[in-house]
Amino acid sequence: MAWELVLWLFAFVSVISLVALTAYQLICLSDLEFDYINPYDTSSRVNAVVVPEFVVQGTLCILFLLTWHWFPFLIMAPISYYHFKLFTSRRHLIDVTEVFRHLNGEKKYRMVKLAFYFCLFLIVIYRLVMTAIIVLIDEDDHRLDYGSF
């Protein structure tokens, strides 16, 4: 049962990193919209974190599949497939010359992803707390079986 606690701790850290990466991308795009940063810097900053985000999200999805946690896997599978299709069609990076044309769409896309990752964060927090409680209760019952010595 302790391995499940480690799984949910890893999922917790992964989802926090996904939220942070998506929020960073959204902040960079908002800075571009208000002309605080130039298009080249924005695209290079956003493009630098897109692939790590895809890798973390795909790894977490595969981990849920391998550990037979079907509900989180089924929630994350369509997003992982969409990320895979974006990556294979080479549409996952922001083009410097087209950044202003697609700015509103990119911001909406990242807002939807941020909302999805927040919902996933709530699920992971719930499962982490429940698993920790079960592990602690099971440990206390195990301690009582052996006595005080």
How many CA atoms lie less than 13 Å away from 121 in the CB half-sphere?
14
**Is the pTM for the entire model greater than 0.75?**
yes
pLDDT for residue 145 is more than 60: no
Give the position of tokens 């083009």: 95
Give dist(CA 4, CA 13) in Å, integer.
14
Task: Write the secondary structure of 9-73 as one string of H (helix), E (strand) and C (coil).
Answer: HHHHHHHHHHHHHHHHHHHHHHHHHCCCCCHHHHHHHHHHHHHHHHHHHHHHHHHHHHCCCHHHH
Average pLDDT score over residue span 116-131 = 96
Q: Is the pLDDT of residue 121 over 60?
A: yes
With a cut of 70, say whether residue 32 has pLDDT above it.
Answer: yes
